[in-house]
Structure 1
Amino acid sequence: MSAKHKQEQNILWHTLDIDKIKEQLETDPAKGLTKAEASERLQKYGANELPSKAKKSVWIKFFKHFHDVLIYILLVAAVVTALMGHYIDTAVIFAVAFINACIGFFQENKAEQALEGIKKMLSLHANVLRDGERIEIDSQDVVPGDIVFLRAGNKIPADIRLIKADKLKIEESALTGESTSVEKQTNVVDEDAVIGDRSNMAFSGTSIASGTGQGIVIATGRDTELGKISKSMAEVEQLQTPLLRQITQFGKQVAMTILVIAALMYGFGYLVRDYGPVELMLYVIGLAVAAIPEGLPAIVSIILAIGVQNMANRKAIVRNLPSVETLGAVTVICSDKTGTLTKNEMTVTSVITVEQHYEVTGTGYAPEGKITMDNKEVSMGEEPDLNELLRIVKTCNDASLRKDEDGHWKINGEPTEGCLITLAEKADKEIERFESISKIPFDSEHKYMAVLVENDGQKYIYVKGAPDRLFSMAESGNSGDSKFDRNQWEQHVKELAEHGLRVIGAGYKKVSSDVEEIHHEDIETGVEMVGLAGIIDPPREEAISAIRECKGAGITVKMITGDHKDTAVAIGKMMGIGDGELALEGKDINNMTDEELEHVVEKYDVFARTSPEHKLRLVKALQKLGHVCAMTGDGVNDAPALKRADIGVAMGIKGTEVSKDAAEMVLVDDNFETIVNAVEEGRRVYNNLKKTILFILPTNGAQAFLIMASILFGLAMPITPVQILWVNMVIAITLSLALAFERLEDCAMELPPRPMKTPLLSGYYIFRIIFVSILIGGGTLAFSMELINRGYDQAVVQTITLHTIVILQLFHLFNCRSEHSFAFNKRFFSNKAAFIVSGILLVLQAGILYLPFMNTLFGTTPLGWEYWLIPMVLGAAVFTIIEVEKWITRIIIKSRNKDEVIC
């Protein structure tokens, strides 16, 4: 990159006048660039396109699922058994590792498409001036200095400094979050203006709503605002979810523990018990295989996949499995306003005429609702001023209303004009729309629109626009109309604005019957003020309820929007976000260091006039303070923050492809309330994962206890490595799955989010795992030693040991369905899966005991019926002891804190 190119990147183009820009970019608006200059600049700046990111191969994606320290130990064990000639053990161990990798690969293989989604937003063609001629070129050939022509319907091909703007309005909501199209002009703008306030700029990827314009290209490709977002997304570090961080840490701790214990046991067995090296190695391999919860990665993936399916049934599509659980840990939801908390459909909610104040029900563009006064629907026949106002706003209007194939009401035209059409349709009778004889279109200089119409032989000029402009018209030479009180009308405007409403005024002027054409000077005086309409992008009613539920669950909701401060504060107050007064603006964030932002980010819940960089900084600041952060949004401007957040949540209906591809979760119905459902599901998944670990680890602990005891006491190996793998996998694919279907405890949404540093295994969980491991392992060891003392063959003893551990775990499953409460409660029969998988387990156990090929593969022998009965009795005893332990634990917890909620 040349020094000049770097210098140009730092220029604040919106602060420069047009002559300086022409000089800086060496271009002439009358002739444009020459073909030679354009070619040279194309070489210098590169094509006007965004860089693509190299994709990982399928094989790399597959083999990364072997990248787990526990799997490494398992693979080493497989290699050692192969070298020792135990090929069946080797094959089974490799098969287990391969199955785990396949589950992870097929469940989590989601390609990153965010950058591709951004590319689709770019314009395909551009009209430029080259060698004094207007020509159409591919947008990728546009270069800085090009003179570009703009008209309604175009997508902006690059970042442009406007030099001409004729009634030019640009739809920028996807980039800035601004809910209405932005009116453009050519004058310089203040240096500290955020993107949404740079009214002399047109940005790549946005679209022209109306009017025409002309401008000088000041940035292309990666240097545009859209390109900066793309670059920001590529550079954003995508954080591991809390669950993955915990499981990774847990895996390392288990691995280190296994290696230390295995080394100590090998040394003890070799030096003290005089085992042979080969025999002892088999013991140690058995110990490692016993202690490794190799079924855990698979069962975690399966539980998360079930959570994904449940989410889909509740209108939330999750693109990444661990993200299901992450919402359960969220402490802050940073939400975009437009289209997320609000409908992104302008709505008239209040109407004020000379005599009356009316309320309007219904939201959005659907003509469903009523115009009321004192909670009663008004009759147009009894309200002549209201009737006149509706005729004015419907006639002095270029928009139209239609219903699409899906039954949704849409507008053609400006959102502000569209909502006025909807207002007229809510009247209790048909409102006339007069034919326009002559029209003065809306423009930024005059801030109003006017039409000449005829009604019963009398001609009128209907006018609507900015209230202050109409007030001046009504106040100046108002035909002796003494009823007009500007102070009173301005007070009405203030009242509406304080509620976050955008205000439109309406009035008319009678003219003689010979008038056929109107001009601005025709309505500078003599206009009679009829009324005001208060317009807002209304909050979603269900979102208000959802925010209330989030607060009950200890989750803070913060609103981050590109809208103006007053609007943001008013909407926030309506939704229960913030105190209705405090809000931090983008320009304030610009003046803060990251450290300063961290000090204030928790104080404010409403952030206004923000840019993509601000959203990203806010998310980072919250994460730095230890928050688990969710970010919702629907625009391109939300994409970097969506990607950086612990979980990004995009809107499915109105969201851009960029936001959907950057997010981990997409709300199918654009309903903020769905996030609350997702939080519930996330908490359910996490609770069930913990229950699964609480259930499955005693299996490993019991088997490891058996082998260590055998080495310590000099006994024969009570269970072989391949039999250990059978126990681990058969429990993982049957009993462990039952816990994935457990319902959320009734009190779970009354608890605050778990702290980010909460370990996967609490002190109580570690105690329970050790306690149950000793209980199951000790009981099984005592039973096995009794059989050995009676002279049973080793193969029979090993088979009975395998069978006993499995049956004891079957009983333990019902202990784990609730963490502290009594197993036989009102929800005992609520999880049918627990009983189904129990039956499947018994069938599989029958198979390994009585099918000849299974006997050969796993070294088992058939058993008599009494060896089913004895493990059942032992299982019932273990179940009872654990229930007594849970009862004692409940008493201890309550004695420490009587107000603590116990689920």
Structure 2
Amino acid sequence: MDRHEATQQQWHTLEQEKAVEQSATDAAAGLTTQEAEKRLQQHGLNKLPEKKAESKLIRFLKHFNDVLIYVLLVAAIITAVLGHYTDTLVIIIVAIVNASIGYFQEAKAEDALKSIQALLSPQAQIIRDNKRIEVDATHITIGDIVLLNAGDKVPADLRLLSADHLKIEESALTGEAEAAEKTTEALAADTGLGDRRNMAFTSTTVSAGSGKGVVVAIGKDTEIGKINQMMREVEQLKTPLLQQTEQFGKTVSVFILLTAGATYLFGHFLRDYDQETLLMSIIGLAVAAIPEGLPAILSIILAIGVRRMARQKAIVRNLPSVETLGAVSVICSDKTGTLTKNEMTVQQVAVKDVEYNISGIGYAPDGDISKQDQKVNVADEPLLQQLITCFYVCNDATLDKDEKEGWVAKGDPTENALVTLAHKAGENIVRNKPERKATLPFSSDYKYMATSADTSNGPVIYIKGAPDRLLDMATREAGTNGEQDFDRSYWEQQITQLANQGLRVIGAAYKKTDQLTDRLEHEDIEKDIVFLGLAGIIDPPRDEAIASIQSCHEAGITVKMITGDHADTAKAIGKQMGIGDGEKIMVGKTLQNMDDAALQKAAQEYDVFARTSPEHKLRLVNALQASNIICAMTGDGVNDAPALKQANVGIAMGIKGTEVTKEASEMVLADDNFSTIVEAVKEGRRIYDNLKKTILFILPTNGAESFLIIASILFGTVMPLLPVQILWVNMVTSLTVSLALAFEPMEPDAMKRPPRPVREPLLNGYFAWRILFVSVLIGGGTLWLCTRLHAANVDEATVRTITVQTIVIAQLFHLFNCRSIGRSAFSQQFFSNRAIYVVAAVLFVLQACVTYIPFMNQVFDTVPLSLDQWKYPVYLGLATFIIVEVEKAIAVRVRSKNSKVKI
């Protein structure tokens, strides 16, 4: 069988003998060395393919791939041809600075694939030439016989040939918190990945028992390899902001080229400018219209958001993702370890006619045992004490307190929960634990575990296991007055009641013996046992996650649970958390058979998905995105990685998440707290609002400068600004004054409004009007001022210097207008954002430098101004502020009368 055929084969459907035959191997002796070498040559090494890394130079040059930068570079070439080398140098420096900021802020890479490589087992125990040997896992091939023991990492995908109490921890791959109990029987063809009990998958860990299996898939053909391939095939989506800014850049570029071309033709044929002067004016127009500082200021604002979110335990690995969180309308969340603690917890126990509730979650023994809302003393409840003692003695887990890590449970998750219950019951049970004499390990065939112990009431065999199995074995039950007739129907009702709450039910029983033995056999306990009671165990939801989901709903965000766990558990957990109605659920088996159109509808209709595979999660994310829904995906296991990479925002758990998941994500929660996502969404919405305020502030600078140049050419007057002066104005307003808007607090209604539409343009109708209005206001006012100064015979250098100061100071006053888009500048605390006053001071220093320092006078063609000449910029700036505030008040009234006007 070649590698392709091996991959296509459904190995879980084959009997062991048939699997060995199909693999062309020997279950006892394994492959011969010669045959193994031949297959290694044929199939290749057992490792994942590596992608060739992109050079740093190429990654840097990609940041020049922007239409606005192209226009700037063309302007630089023309100025160089005309001999204006200072202008050329300044333009090139601006382009390089923008590219450098983008390059150094770029955090996304293909490290996820390297992390998957690290998951593979380095060594493996195999049988070759009828000998047990240890080999490098990369040299395992199809047909090798692999031996598994507790603590081993599975080196390849195996069809199990034997399983002796074998349990494998597969949560990172399947999403199940409980270790999977392995068997060897053949399974149905439609058995989901999480239910393939006769298979062992690479990267998973043996938690108990031992086993043997034949290698049926290696490298890229393993389940982990398929995840690796899915991640390679995932197309990196541009964030909504990048899509908006890209479209915005194209629109601005077309506008600049058309305007510059029309203006050039007008100046060439209808005015008497010489060719060099006209070309420099057109270059000045192009440079004026380009918001070249915008990419840099966007990166800086996003970086500030990253730092703020880091303080809130959300580590952002990709800058634009900060803002994307504010646009998310669906959060797809894994259950285990994300919405829940991934720490099994006993929540209810039941003995005859009495039910108890246990508070506290996780493995820390903090909590009380109560009945009818009253705390009980376990010493006063003999049946309860006996039940907990049974669970504690018939148990291989341990619970210890570590100075650094706190309470640490070691063992099977279910047994960890039962040990924690014993510690909650009090020191008396822990201290007086009966000594175990013999143990019969849990067997998937018998579905129970038994231990013999020497108790104060004589030798006893304690039994815990699947309740239906214990019910079949029981002939008596423990009651308040001692042993009594067995009421099976009562216990079946109790089991159903607990199971309907999504609890995993464990039964307990005992059998008295005449003497202790060093060895137990199933025949010793298969009948005449006394049934004690039940424990209901669950991986509990996080309390803070429930509140966060409610906050998401208020913000118009839908939360969907996508888990590999069982349907009943998923429904129960979902209902507790406010996800779904506790009834409507879709399982992976149904999802698997849906075409893309049907899945697209189901992805929006259902909120809870169970028994899902990595492929299912990826398809669900794709289906939501096909409906133009911006979605985030949270998770902590390897099985979540492809979906995290595909999602608009992938969110990984920082504590319990695998390295693969972290590297595939855009954001990592350092505290594994779902509520941190809500804080991140708040920050994302705040950032987007502030980005729009920044654009509303910056673009009128470009508009005013463009207006000045176009008007000058139309009227045939002297150019009011040189290209190098325009660059100075653009950069100084972008990198100082506008930076203050990044620190504006969140708008009061930010988390009460629905997410913005995915196709919402960066500039809506009102924004376009406002930018045009302020551009004409500042540009027209400055042009009027220039005309008055020329009429007063002020020299050209002084007029240009006053023009530079007028545009900058008018923008400074306009900054206060932009603190709130649709409300008055006085509707919030005027001094709530101290950054405004800091940058204003920095701006005045810079403007003083460009006006009074000789070196800067020479570079920017400015001259010193008298104190009296500063009144012109201040008066125009104050007038701008007042007029824009009046315009905003009128716009608010229009909006209240016509809800279609969006501000």
TM-score, scaled relative to structure 1: 0.98
- Tell me the residue number matched to 1:840: 842
Q: Do residues 377 (structure 1) and 375 (structure 2) align?
A: yes
Deviation at 1:655, TM superposition (A): 0.1
> 2: distance between equivalents of 1:727 and 1:771?
19
- Shift in CA distance, 143/514, structure 1 to aligned 2, threshold 3 Å: closer
Contact persistence 1:323–1:664 (CA under 8 A):
yes
Deviation at 1:514, TM superposition (A): 5.8
> 1: distance between equivalents of 2:286 and 2:398?
73
Partner SS for 1:304 = helix
Contact persistence 2:477–2:530 (CA under 8 A):
no
Equivalences for 1:436-515 in 2 at 5 Å? 436-456=436-456, 458-475=458-475, 482-513=484-515, 515=517
> 1: distance between equivalents of 2:358 and 2:457?
32
> 2: distance between equivalents of 1:537 and 1:503?
12
Partner of residue 69 from structure 1, selected from 63, 67, 70: 67
> 2: distance between equivalents of 1:855 and 1:526?
103
Contact persistence 2:7–2:216 (CA under 8 A):
no
Contact persistence 2:345–2:361 (CA under 8 A):
yes
Q: Do residues 119 (structure 1) and 121 (structure 2) align?
A: no
> 2: distance between equivalents of 1:501 and 1:494?
10
Q: Do residues 316 (structure 1) and 314 (structure 2) align?
A: yes
- Tell me the residue number matched to 2:708: 706
- Tell me the residue number matched to 2:544: 542
RMSD: 1.5
Deviations 1:776-818 (A, max 9, x none): 0000000001111222211111111111101100100000000
Deviation at 1:515, TM superposition (A): 4.6
My pick for the range that moved more, 528-537 or 373-382, is 373-382
> 1: distance between equivalents of 2:98 and 2:235?
27
Contact persistence 1:478–1:526 (CA under 8 A):
no
> 1: distance between equivalents of 2:457 and 2:360?
36
Equivalences for 1:252-267 in 2 at 5 Å? 252-267=250-265
> 1: distance between equivalents of 2:738 and 2:845?
16
- Tell me the residue number matched to 2:863: 861
Partner of residue 877 from structure 2, selected from 867, 875, 891: 875
Percent of matched pairs sharing the same residue: 58
Equivalences for 1:84-163 in 2 at 5 Å? 84-163=82-161
> 2: distance between equivalents of 1:243 and 1:592?
33
Partner SS for 1:562 = coil
- Tell me the residue number matched to 1:687: 689
Q: Could you tell me which runs of 5 or more consecutive residues in structure 1 were left unpaired when the two chains were aligned.
A: none
Which amino acid letter does the alignment assign opposite residue 449 of structure 1? M
My pick for the range that moved more, 269-278 or 691-700, is 269-278
My pick for the range that moved more, 470-479 or 327-336, is 470-479
Which amino acid letter does the alignment assign opposite residue 822 of structure 2? H
> 1: distance between equivalents of 2:527 and 2:880?
93
- Shift in CA distance, 514/116, structure 1 to aligned 2, threshold 3 Å: closer
- Tell me the residue number matched to 2:724: 722
- Tell me the residue number matched to 2:746: 744
Partner SS for 1:749 = coil
Partner SS for 2:565 = coil
> 2: distance between equivalents of 1:865 and 1:516?
103
Equivalences for 1:483-882 in 2 at 5 Å? 483-513=485-515, 515-882=517-884
Deviations 1:852-876 (A, max 9, x none): 1110010001111122122211111
Partner of residue 267 from structure 2, selected from 261, 269, 278: 269
Deviations 1:631-659 (A, max 9, x none): 00000000000000001000000000000
> 1: distance between equivalents of 2:449 and 2:515?
21
- Shift in CA distance, 457/489, structure 1 to aligned 2, threshold 3 Å: closer
My pick for the range that moved more, 128-137 or 478-487, is 478-487
> 1: distance between equivalents of 2:740 and 2:125?
63
> 2: distance between equivalents of 1:100 and 1:508?
74
> 1: distance between equivalents of 2:792 and 2:5?
90
- Tell me the residue number matched to 2:28: 30
- Tell me the residue number matched to 1:244: 242
Partner SS for 1:324 = helix
Deviations 1:811-863 (A, max 9, x none): 00000000011101332211000111011111111111111111001000111
Contact persistence 2:585–2:609 (CA under 8 A):
yes
Deviation at 1:6, TM superposition (A): 2.2
Q: Could you tell me which runs of 5 or more consecutive residues in structure 2 were left unpaired when the two chains were aligned.
A: none
Which amino acid letter does the alignment assign opposite residue 806 of structure 2? T
Contact persistence 1:61–1:109 (CA under 8 A):
no
Partner SS for 2:877 = helix
Deviation at 1:63, TM superposition (A): 1.5
Deviation at 1:661, TM superposition (A): 0.2
Deviation at 1:708, TM superposition (A): 0.2
> 2: distance between equivalents of 1:123 and 1:524?
40
> 1: distance between equivalents of 2:275 and 2:859?
25
Deviation at 1:239, TM superposition (A): 0.4
- Tell me the residue number matched to 2:898: 896
Deviation at 1:83, TM superposition (A): 0.9
My pick for the range that moved more, 646-655 or 18-27, is 18-27
Contact persistence 1:539–1:571 (CA under 8 A):
yes
- Tell me the residue number matched to 1:53: 51
Partner SS for 1:307 = helix
Deviation at 1:477, TM superposition (A): 11
My pick for the range that moved more, 82-91 or 645-654, is 82-91
- Tell me the residue number matched to 1:181: 179
> 2: distance between equivalents of 1:408 and 1:755?
46
Deviation at 1:496, TM superposition (A): 0.4
Deviation at 1:12, TM superposition (A): 0.7
Partner SS for 2:443 = coil
Contact persistence 2:383–2:478 (CA under 8 A):
no
> 2: distance between equivalents of 1:160 and 1:858?
73
Q: How many residues align?
A: 899
Deviations 1:184-217 (A, max 9, x none): 0000111111110100000000000000000100
- Tell me the residue number matched to 1:307: 305
- Shift in CA distance, 665/593, structure 1 to aligned 2, threshold 3 Å: same
Contact persistence 1:457–1:513 (CA under 8 A):
no
Deviations 1:444-483 (A, max 9, x none): 0111111111123611111111111111121389999543
- Tell me the residue number matched to 1:435: 435
Deviation at 1:345, TM superposition (A): 0.1
> 2: distance between equivalents of 1:801 and 1:293?
19
> 1: distance between equivalents of 2:400 and 2:629?
45
Contact persistence 1:475–1:486 (CA under 8 A):
no
> 1: distance between equivalents of 2:140 and 2:690?
55
My pick for the range that moved more, 627-636 or 11-20, is 11-20
Contact persistence 2:849–2:856 (CA under 8 A):
yes
- Shift in CA distance, 48/21, structure 1 to aligned 2, threshold 3 Å: same
TM-score, scaled relative to structure 2: 0.98
Which amino acid letter does the alignment assign opposite residue 597 of structure 2? E
My pick for the range that moved more, 574-583 or 271-280, is 271-280
Deviations 1:601-620 (A, max 9, x none): 11100000000000000000
Deviations 1:206-248 (A, max 9, x none): 0000000001000000000000000110111010000001101
> 1: distance between equivalents of 2:283 and 2:886?
36
Deviation at 1:146, TM superposition (A): 0.4
My pick for the range that moved more, 763-772 or 478-487, is 478-487
